[in-house]
Each structure stands twice: as structure tokens, then as C-alpha cells.
Structure 1
Amino acid sequence: MADNTAADIVKGVGGSSNIESLTHCATRLRFQLVDAGKVDQNAIEAVPGVMGAVPQAGNRFQVVIGGAVQSVYNDIKALPDIDGGAAPSGGGEDDIASIKERERSKGVRGKVAWIDSFFEFLSDSFRPVLGALLGASFFITFMALMATLDVIPDWNAPGVTLDPSWAFINLMWQCVFIFLPLMVAYNASKKIGADPWVGFAIMAVLMLPGFLALGEGVEPTVVFGVDVTIVPIFGFPLTVFDYSSQVFPPLLMAAVLGLVYKGLRKIITPNLQLIFVPFLAMLVMIPMTAFIIGPIGVYAGAALANLLAAINSFSPFIFAIVIPLAYPFMVPLGLHWPINAVMLLNIQTLGYDFIQGPMGAWNFACFGATAGVLVLAIRHRDHQMRQTSTGALAAGLLGGISEPSLYGIHLRFKRIYPRLLVGCFVGGLIIGVGSLVLGLENGITTQAFVFTSLLTIPAFNPIGLYAIAIFGAFFTSMFLVIGSNFRTPEQQAEFEAARDAAEAEAAAEKVSPASVEAAEPRVIDASDAAPAAAAATVAPATATATAVAERVALDIAAPLAGRVVPLTEVPDPVFAGGVMGPGAAIEPSGDTVYSPGAGTVAAAQPTGHAFGLVLDGGLEVLIHVGIDTVNLNGEGFDVKVKNGDRIELGTPLVTFDRSVIEKAGYSMVTPVIVLNADDFGEVTPVTEGTVEPEASLITVDPK
């Protein structure tokens, strides 16, 4: 069976001749392929033992195995046709430089790796601030609801003065959007490899009150519908503009800053880089951003916003249908990030946005398809998919976040997308027809940037039309998925066969000969003495742990200090989609990972990036230190334990050098996953706040 699994995986990735190299981490096989177009993803996901498959840019491909990854990796290496130049490399023979050089060479040769890098840059520039944006959107919704109920005046209208109490509440969301350029500048600069605080400082110059004061007394000029003031500075024209809520300028600034940083590091000796690189970068970039980059970003964003506004003005009916149908294809490519920037610009210049309403039809069609999958997962006794879809649906309906549904479910099962698109069309059609009937020149609008969830419905105008549209999209997708299944008939038959076999095996274990033998007395001769003694010492502890697990909830402590991040926000679709299991993640503030409880080390990776633990009570826990940090080959990691070691709560597992990980460009977010959640009841993770080691992170109820 093991040989068949290995051979089927190799066949699924296009054969041994299509494998350029192979590495593995604690849970995944990581293929570097000659041609990713030869991969048969459906065939790979159907292989027994494979939990999922994740295509990546640059002909990279990951196969999720779980705890048995080392065995499967060894089986693949042992195949007779894996040899010579096509032989996979071991769990880390490629160093960082060679991996990056290979990826850069693919981009130069005209591959699409640079496109993936571009969208990854956009995504990583926005993703860390999603929590703040989501929180702000709830404040906005609350203010909109109060205005609808006539508790306060139209809070966002020009010239309206609120009572100081309500004005203070209004500041709670304004703080996020006014200073959004600084947040984006920090994230984008960090992603590009420059000092994030230097990027922050460069953008901050354009947001100082003194910068706006330079344009006082000068008649403004309208460019692309935006009021700007041109002021001569040393004979050069300086465009003075309110950069609040702008995201195009900080993104462009960070991209150029990255190039400047690389150039300065090449010409300045390492001993002097700490002093002169930041200073010279600011000396170059502050004037360049103020005079050139900032205005280009403003005008580019305004031009795109005007283009979309012109389409919407020409036909709100067409616009309302096109936007929901386009988003299912834009989000996987990352094209929705620039549109989010346009939404913010619309609110700043027009006082409202007309894109978010139709976008809501896409989101709720997406969530409806997930709800359909959840219904089928319950009906088919598919425990893993039920867990995945439950988390994705909660993230969608309460937070307006579509990525867990999209990456965890929809892109894995190709039957879902056509049904989802029908839901998008129905929602868009309702908005388009309703706008014509009600005479809405701009369709459904909102006065602030919000996430399209159940909680933000009051932020849209008219509320009734918006609610009808999103629920129409939701239930259309949901019933279509339920009616036609998300698996093909062949996939369903294979799933049911595997499920029935697993259930039969579990039932057989309950009445196995071993259990009957354990219940009956037997005579032990001298040759049995040593094994029996060993069994006697283990059995009571095991029985006690099992009994405790059956009666009380188990607690998994935080393995390191830092900020708790929901699993859905981990920048890796395997963890974010719940493929490995439920849990939480921590963005570390320290440099040491500790044991989250008493137990045994089942797998301590020599690279230090991942640990598999079996805690007392039977919980199997995976701690994955950072994302893609396996590529560091242990550089910057000091492992403190080995396989089989007994550990207690607070036992150090590994220390890591933050600077090494950050310099390599890898995320430090550390997922903590319950691998055998199906053996227990509800898994309840902490989802926000900061934690210290040994503080409660995840509670697991007995089954």
C-alpha cells in the first residue's frame, strides 16, 4: 500500500521525469516540477493518505500528507525510477540562495512567477491590517444603524456635527482609515526587504499637518476628479494632497524603496549599513515620494476609480451583474486588492462607494456554496469537510472573509464554481433590476468601507434591496450545491468506500482480540516477564489518561509569547483552510517555543521548524514555527529536544533567531494544530489578544 501511495503521487505530478527536486516539512511533500501543467491534482487528492494538494507559482506543488510525510517521502525516494538528475533532494538540501535564484530565473525566462510575487506583495501588504479593517467596519455599521434609526443625524454627510459622545465613537473607525497608508507602507516595506519603519517614516511625511499647510492659500486644481494643490518648492512643482486612506502611493513607494535598499547595501560596507542605509534611503525617497511617487499613485488610483464610475454611470444594471461574476476569478489572482483601494478612494472623493454592494452578491454566493458543502458533509458523515466548512462559513457570515471558503473548499472541488457563479448572477441581477425599478443612479451604495457580512448589512443603502440580493445569491448557490453535490459521482463513490472502510476498522478495534485478551486472565511464563513488566507500567498510565480525556476538557497552552492570530489568517492555504485540523496561530514576540503541556515528543524536525507532540490525554499537537521556514535548513534554529523525549509544560523545544527568518522573507506566524480532533469533541481556540507561554490557547472537550 505504501509503495502504491508513493507511486500514485509520482504519477499524479507527471512522473519522475517531471520532478526537478523534492523536499518535505513536518506535514507536506514539496515538489519543484519541470512543468506544473502535467499535474493531475484530482488524481493526487484521491490517493489514500493524501489530505490535500496545493498548487503554487514557479512550478511548485505541495502534497499534504500529515504525520506520515517522512515515510511517504522515503517511499518515493526508494522507487526504482527516481534516480540521477531527477532524484528528489532530501529534506532540505536546497539552500535559500539556490531556491530564490531558481525562482528568479523562472521569472526572467518569461514564466509567471513574477506575477505571483506581485500579487503576494499586494496580499501581504494588506493581510496584516485585515483585523483592524474588520473591526473598523463594525463601528461603521453601528453608526449607520444608529443613523437609520434616527438616533443620530446622517453621521457621514458633509457639514454634520455630532454630539461629542458620538463623535468619539466615530473616531474609532476613522483612526484605521486615516492612517491606513502608514500601515500599508510598513507592511509593504517589510515584505520587500526594507526597514519597515523607514517606509513608515517616508509615508508619514506626506501625512503631516505641516505638509497640507504648504498648500494653504493656493487655488486647488482638479485632476482625474481629485482636488490637488500645486506648490513650487525650490522651483519644482510639489503636489499637495490629503493622503488619508490612500493605498496606491505607499505601495509604489515601498516597491521603489526595496530597490534603493538593495542598491545601498551593495555599495555600503556592512559595518556602516545600520547608520547610513536608513539615512540615505530617506534622503532619496522622501523627496521622490512627495514629488513623483505620491502624485502618480493618487492619479493612477483616481483614473481607475473614474473608469469604474463611468461604467457604473453608463449602466448600473450591467455593472451590478459584471462585478459579482468577475470577483470569483479576481480573488484567487489577488486582483481584488487594487479594487479595495478604489473603494476607499471612492469614499474619500465621492462620499460613497458603489462597488461593495455588487461585491456582496459574490461573497454571499461564496458563503452559500460553503453552506451547501456543510449540509452534504453532515449528511455524508464527512467529518473533515464538516469541520473545514463550519470554520469557513463562520468566517464568511460573521467576518465577510471569503478566502477560507475559496481556498479550503471551492478551488479543490471543480463542481462548486459553476453553481457559485449562478448565485453571483442571481444576486447581481436582483441588484440591477432593483436599481432600475427604484431609479437608483449609482445602484446600491455605502458611505464607508466595510466587510460584506451579516453584521454589516445596515451599512448599505437601500438596505432592503441589498438584503434581498445577498440572500438570493446565498440560497441559490447553497441549494444548487446540495442538489448536485460538490464531488463527482466517481469522487463520491471513492469517498464513501474510504469512509465505510475506516468506520468498519474503528468498529473492529472495539472488539479486537487484543481487547478481549486484555479482559481475560492469562498465565505469563518467564519469557514474558520483561514485556509484561513494561506493559504493566504503561497500561495504567494509558488507561488513566484515557479516562481523564473522557471526563474533562483538555487544555493546550500557548507554546510561545505573542499575538494570537485566527487560523484562517495564516498565510498558507493548508493551515488556513483547516486541512491539517483546527487550532490557532501566534505571531511571536519572543524567540523560544515551549511545550504546551506534558507529554512526549513524537517528531522533532532536525531543522527546528516543526514539532509533533503527543500530550497526556491523547492529544496530538503540531507546532509549525513560521511558514516555509523548512527552506532555512535549520539555520537560525537551536533544537532542544529529540524524538521520544518526555516533556512537561514549559519545557523549551527550540529557540530561533528572528533576524534570520525575517531576512529570508518568511512569515513568523506559528500555527498550533490539533491533529486528531476527530477523536475528541469541540476544539475551542483563543482567537485574539496577546498570550504568554503556558497561558491557555486551545480548549479541547471530550467526545
Structure 2
Amino acid sequence: MGSTTQRSTAEGIVAEIGGPGNIVSLTHCATRLRFVLNDAGLVDQKAVEAIPGVMGAVPQSGDRFQVVIGGAVQTTFNQIMNLPEMAGIGKSQLSDADVKAAARGKARGKAAWVDGFFEYLSDSFRPLLGVLLGASLIIAFAAVLDAFHVIDFRATDKSASWIFVDAMWRSVFYFLPIMVAYNAAKKLNIDPWVGATVMGALMTPEFISLSDTTRFADTVCTTNATLGTDSCVAQIFGLPMQLNGYGGQVFVPLIMVAVLALVYKGLVRIFPANIQMVFVPFFSMVIMIPVTAFFIGPMGIWMGNGLGSGMAWMNGHAPILFAIIIPLVYPFLVPLGLHWPLNALMLVNIQTLGYDFIQGPMGAWNFACFGATAGVLFIAMRDKEVEMRATATGALAAGLLGGISEPSLYGIHLRFKRIYPRMLVGCLVGGLITGIFGGVQTSAFAFTSLLTIPVFSPLPLYAISIAAAFVTAMVLVIISDYRTPEQKAESFENRQQAESDLALEAARAAAPTDASADVPTDAPAAVSTPTAVIVAPVAGHVVSLDEVADKVFASRALGEGVGILPTDGRVTSPVAGVLVTVPASGHAFGIKTDDGVEVLVHIGIDTVQLQGKCFDVAVKKRQRVAIGDLLATADFEGIRDAGYDPTTIVVVINSKTLTSVTPKTGDDVVPGDPIIAVAP
């Protein structure tokens, strides 16, 4: 189907269901467009069904309406959603952002400032996800080379080439304070470049040089015995200023921007709008750079060190409890976007201690999450759930290769409440293994994925713990399913519906549609007698379409007709005309008479799956046939043995365009006996 046809199909569907103003939302399954409408009474169902590319229309309860498209449903959906008049029309399926907002809304408490505080933390880090992931993968690559003894990842005397590689990932973590300051300022609706500039001032070579005691005699440095870090104090305008290395720090920019926002907005109220562009940034910098250097910077360092020391104390005195709590807490923090404070502590640990002990047990949570997704994927593949299989495949790839849990959470886990308890068991198992055997550490900030396993130590313990978490969650989901009985029943019904729609699409493809089929030059002259009767193509017992075990034919979506329970394998032509359709599978024949009656002879149900086995075709496409001419010989016993229903179906495809189509059922017939009366 070309783009013009697709476009007209999309426009036609929207017009005939009452126009864009009548559409509340639109989603699709494997074969159908699913509309929620303001008023289902505005739909012209017959007009919808007459649109090219539409196989049928199905009114639903309430103001819901389905349009059967078949395998091209995704293309048609995209065409509709891209129509200019559809701008602003939403999808009823919740987006990832919607799921997160809903989860956050449920978790909101009475203290709005608490919610605002955590949102401030989250939104200051979330935009950095891409570069943090990129840096972690560079670290993982270097760690793999270190594991195979290609380079010494932790050596200080590496070659210039590998120092350059280090610069590629260290750039993210060293300048992280500036990035966080930029995002935090945006979150608080002030100029983000002012926030970045204030933080950047404490990371310039000039500021760093203040700790050079050989150059500045009044600078005094001491060593912190607990953390093993140096602390210097310089005299600035006669006042003592504690000097710190702010690379990789996150608490300092978060505190600084919160104070900056008060100063910046106060200055906006003071200065007239026409001079704000110059004087608001100027005074913000003049005020906040000293305040940050003298007070906020040291305070942020103290806070970070204190929190890191507290977590280290818990990890050292109750390692099993710590290793269990971390993976059990994360599944509730990530959906709300509240996990970044813990991620910030990881960065502080690496900066102050030289290693981090949170990421190891956190890996148990991530891999339990990915294991649950793998369980969903297994069920989706087993049950032929096309949509869920695609969702789970993408989410699992993002998790295992990138360490990103959001696609799994927002795309699957938060939509099916049975997943979380099973995933938490995986978190518990992985965390317990980590804690019992002494914990896991890493000297680099890394997203926990398959690619970053080498950066954790001891590697065997980490690998075992995440594997246990993954397998536990996956097996529990597979055993008990991720759907409630109601969801499972609905899923089964949708799958049957999709299979029926796709069967309809295949049957229509086998039906006669070419009004001007080419006839061989040596063919007999066209028959001028109007078609009044369609005869039996096979010997057997004639039944109503209502008794045919195929929803497509039973619904008469392909037209009125009959079914024949065959007793002989000889299949002959029921009318005189031209063979428009003769598929290679040999299971169906479409014939068009000279006066326009279109007849489909379909041998067996779903026998297209036999791919020609059990059929010996005697004709070819565009051949003219007379009543009783042999079309094919079918091995009905072989069809039964292969597990297929041999019922042969004869339908008049264009029944709606004829005056009448009257089946004759209940009789035993032989080829040539009348089974359907027609009035063209």
C-alpha cells in the first residue's frame, strides 16, 4: 500500500468516526485501532468498513470503538496520529512520564516542601543520565582490558594514550558540579549559566593554585587522619578560607543553587527589567562566589563526608543489613526519581574514600529488575504476545547492556502489580548473598550492567549475587505469571482476536479482487448466462457458516456462504469464470464469474500453514474454468493427521453488492449439487 492510500485510509477513518473532535484517545493492539470517543453515536460503521485498508469495525461497550486493520495497524496508527487535525489528541496508554507522575502523586505527603526537595534533587541529576552512562561504559571498557591484563587501569604511570582515555570519562565526574549547578538552576527557574559560573569559579586553575604553600606562605595544609585527605586554609582579604577540591562534588552545587535562587530572584525584584540582563548576573556572581568559597563549599564537603562516613559505618558494622536494605529500597526510590541522593553518596564515597560500597548491593536490585523483565519476555514469547514481547525485549536490552531500569519499570513493572513482590524476592536474595560474603566495592561510578561487571570487586561474589537476583526474579515471574487472572483472560482474548483478524487478512488476500484478470488468448468464450447458483466443489455434508470452527468465516466478514464436511478429495470449480487467486499453498481458490460474482473456495481451516503439503493443484492463476473443472486434489486424511480441520468453505466475497445470497444447508452433496442461490 502506498503512502497516498495510507494517508486516505487514515483521513477516512478519522472522518467517519465523527472527526478528531470526537476522539478522546487512540491506541492499538496487534491488529486493531482502539478508539475512545466522546459520542459513539456519531460513527458511520458502514462507511468505516468501506474504507480501503479497513477489514471491519467493531462497536464496544460505552463509547469505545475498534477498527480492524490487520498487520498494517502500526502504520495506519502512525498515519492517523501524524494528521495535522490530530495534534493534541492523546493516547490512553500511559507514557513513562505519566507513570512516574502517577507514582509520585501517590507518594506525596502533607509536607509539600519535602516533595519539592526530592524533586529538586532528582531533576538536578536526571538530565545527566546520558553522559553518566557514557562515562560508565568507557570505564567498563577499560576495566575489561584491565581484567585481561592489556592495561593497568589503576596505574599512575600509564601512557599518554591511556591518560587521554581517562580524560574522556573523568571529564564527566570532574565537572559534574558545574553540570549539576546548571540543572539545579534551571529547576529553580533562574539563569542556569549563573549557577554554572559560580560553581566553575571554585574549579579554576587560579582557585586550585591557592593551596600551593610554596607560592603562598600564609596557606596552611593539614591531613585528615580519618579520611586520609588534605585540607588547606588560605588567607583571603585577611579571612581564612578552607580550600577543597570540588571536582566530583554534588552537595556543594545543590546547596549553592538553592541560596543563589533566593539572591537572584531578590535582585530581579530590585532592578528594572531593562538593566536586569547585566546587573542581576553581575551581583549574583559577586555575592555568591565568595559565599560559596567561604561557607557553602566547606559545609557541602562536611555534609558529604559525614553522610559517606555514616554509610561506611553501617556497612562496616552491619554489612548484611546494609546489603539487604539497599536493593530493597531502590525499587521504590527509582520510580519516584528519588534515587539520585544515594547516587550522589556514591560519588562522594569515591571522591573521599577512593571506593564505593553502595553500588555493589544496588546491582542486586538492578538485576532482579532485569530478571523480572526476562520472565515477562519468556511468557510473552510463549503466549505469542507480540506487543509485550517487543516492550520486554527493548527493556531487557537497555537493562543488561546499559544498566537502565526505567524502561522495565515504566514499560512493564508499574503496570502489573504482581511483578513487584517477585522482584523484591530477587533483590533480597542478591543482597543477602552480597552481605553474607563481605560486600562488594568499586572504585568507579558505573551503571550496573553486564558490561560493567569487571569494575566490581570481588568480581566472583558480585557476579554470583546479581545472577542469583536475576534468576530468582525471572523464575518467580515465569512460575506465577505477571498478570492477574483477569489480565490473563483479557490477554488471551486479545490474542485470539488478533489471530482471527490476521486470518481474515490472509483469507482476503486469497479472495478474488481483480475485476480485469488477464485471460489466455486461447480461452473459451466468456459465458453470458447470469450466475444463479453456486454448486458444491467437493462431496460431503453442507453446514451453516455458524458451525464452521473459524471466527472469520463464521462472522461472515468475508461474505455469506456454507461449509462442507468433505468425504472425497476431489475439489472442482463451483462456478464458471476466471481464477483470480491461486496461492502456492494450494489451499484456496478465488474465482470471478463474467457477471461479477466473486467466489472463494477455502480448503480446510488454517491449512495455509501446511505450505502446499496435502494439496495437488491442477490449475493456475488467470485460467478460465467451467463448472466441474478440477481445481485440486486434497489429502483430507493427511490434513486431519497434521492437526487441521478439513472443512471446505465456499463464500461469496461480494455478498453485500448482490441482491441476495441464499445458502442451502443440511444436505449431503456431491460435486455439482447446488449449495448457494445468488441473484446478481
What range describes the TM-score normalised by the shorter chain of this pair? 0.5 to 0.7
Report how far residue 491 of structure 1 moved. 1.3
- When residues 366 and 26 of structure 1 are mapped into structure 2, their CA distance, relative to the original with a 3 A threshold, is farther
- Single out whichever of 468-477 and 140-149 deviates more from structure 2: 140-149
Separation of aligned partners in 2, 1:185 and 1:72: 50
CA displacement at 1:277 relative to structure 2:
1.6
Pair 1:303–1:505, CA change in 2 (3 A): same
Query: 1:49–1:333: structure 2 CA closer, same or farther, 3 Å change rule?
Result: closer
Deviations 1:625-648 (A, max 9, x none): xxxxxxxxxxxxxxxxxxxxxxxx
Is the partner of 1:219 in helix, strand or coil? strand
Are 2:344 and 1:341 aligned? yes
Contact (CA 8 Å) 2:260, 2:288: kept in 1 or not? yes
Letter in 1 for 2:241: L
Taking the aligned partners of 2:158 and 2:446, their CA distance within structure 1 comes to: 21
Question: Structure 1 stretch 459-468 or stretch 122-131: which is displaced more?
Answer: 122-131
The structural deviation recorded for 1:404 is 1.0
Asked whether the 8 Å contact 1:177–1:245 carries over to 2, the reply is yes
CA distance in 1, matches of 2:456, 2:21: 46
SS at 2:396's partner residue?
helix
1:484 aligns with 2:480: yes
2:415 maps to which residue? Answer: 412
- 1:401 aligns with one of 374, 399, 404: 404
Q: Quote the Cα distance in structure 2 between the aligned partners of 1:510 and 1:72.
A: 33
Q: Mark the CA change 1:271 to 1:426 in structure 2 (over 3 Å): closer, same or farther.
A: same
| 1:221-236 correspondence runs (5 A) | 222=224, 225=227, 227-236=230-239
Partner in structure 2 of residue 156 of structure 1: 154
Partner secondary structure for residue 394 of structure 1: helix
Q: Does 1:240 align with 2:237?
A: no
What's the counterpart of residue 40 of structure 1? none
Which residue among 414, 420, 425 is the counterpart of 1:422? 425
Q: Which runs of 5+ in 1 are unaligned?
A: 1-23, 30-47, 52-64, 81-89, 93-105, 436-442, 524-703
| Distance of 1:255 and 1:402 partners within structure 2 | 29
Deviations 1:462-513 (A, max 9, x none): 111111111111111111101111001121012211332233234335546x
**Quick one: distance in 1 between partners of 2:361 and 2:41?**
50
Q: Does the Cα contact within 8 Å between 1:430 and 1:469 map onto a contact in 2?
A: yes
Show CA shifts across 1:370-416 (max 9, x none): 11111111112222211111111111000001111112111111111
Q: Does the 8 Å CA contact 1:221/1:230 hold for their aligned counterparts?
A: no
What is the aligned-residue RMSD (CA, Å)?
3.5
Q: Provide the C-alpha distance between the structure 2 equivalents of 1:224 and 1:462, rounded to a whole number of angstroms.
A: 24
- Counterpart contact for 1:156–1:447, Cα < 8 Å: no
Question: What amino acid is aligned across from residue 220 of structure 1 in structure 2?
Answer: T
1:505 and 2:514 matched = no
Please tell me whether the aligned partners of residues 311 and 319 of structure 1 are also in contact (alpha carbons under 8 angstroms). Answer: yes
Change (3 A) 1:66 1:450: farther
> Does the CA contact (< 8 Å) of 2:221 and 2:230 recur in 1?
no
CA shift for structure 1 position 444: 1.2
**1:28–1:66 CA contact under 8 A, matched in 2:** no
1:28 and 1:341 mapped to 2: Cα distance? 42
Contact 1:419–1:477 (CA under 8 A) maintained in structure 2 = yes
Compute the displacement of 1:334 (Å): 2.8
Q: Does the 8 Å CA contact 1:25/1:91 hold for their aligned counterparts?
A: no
* Structure 1 equivalent of residue 382 of structure 2: 379
Structure 2, unaligned runs of 5 or more = 1-19, 43-61, 64-86, 90-104, 214-219, 518-527, 529-680
The C-alpha deviation readout for 1:326-347, integer Å capped at 9, x for no partner, is 2112222333211111111111
Question: Which runs of structure 2 are paired with 1:63-462 in the superposition (5 Å)?
Answer: 68=35, 71=38, 111=110, 114-153=113-152, 155-156=153-154, 160-217=156-213, 218-220=220-222, 222=224, 225=227, 227-435=230-438, 443-462=439-458
Secondary structure of 1:427's counterpart equals helix
**Contact map agreement 1:132 1:176 (CA 8 A) in 2:** yes
Separation in structure 1 between the aligned mates of residue 251 and residue 353 of structure 2, nearest angstrom: 18
Equivalent pair of 1:224/1:302 in contact (CA under 8 Å):
no
Report how many residues are paired.
Answer: 432
Q: Give CA deviations for 1:497-540 in whole Å, capped at 9, x if unaligned.
A: 1332233234335546x9957445799xxxxxxxxxxxxxxxxx
Structure 2 residue matching 1:201: 3-state secondary structure: helix
Q: Distance in 2 between matches of 1:312 and 1:475?
A: 26
Kindly state the Cα deviation for residue 178 of structure 1 after the two structures are TM-superposed: 0.9
Please give the alpha-carbon distance, in whole angstroms, between the structure 2 residues aligned to 1:191 and 1:66: 39
| 1:260 Cα offset (Å) | 2.6
Report the CA distance between 1:219 and its aligned residue: 2.3
Mean Cα deviation higher: 143-152 or 329-338: 143-152
TM-score (norm 1): 0.56
Tell me the equivalent position of 2:53: none
Q: Given that residues 245 and 344 in structure 1 are in contact (C-alpha distance below 8 angstroms), is that contact kept between their aligned partners in structure 2?
A: yes
Task: Return the index of the structure with the highest Cα Rg.
Answer: 2
CA distance in 1, matches of 2:40, 2:157: 66
Q: Which amino acid aligns with 2:277?
A: L
* Paired residue secondary structure (2:437): helix
Residue identity opposite 2:154 in structure 1: N
- Taking the aligned partners of 1:455 and 1:27, their CA distance within structure 2 comes to 45
What amino acid does structure 2 have at the position aligned with 1:324?
A: P
Query: CA, structure 1 residues 495+110, in 2 after alignment: closer, same or farther (shift >3 Å)?
Result: closer
Q: Is the 8 A contact 2:323 2:361 kept in 1?
A: yes
What is the alpha-carbon distance in structure 1 between the residues aligned to residue 192 and residue 363 of structure 2? 33
1:165–1:304 CA distance, 2 compared to 1 (3 A): same
Query: C-alpha distance in 1, partners of 2:276/2:23?
Result: 39
Letter of the aligned partner of 2:294 in structure 1? F
3-state SS of 1:246 partner: coil
Identity of aligned residues (%): 56
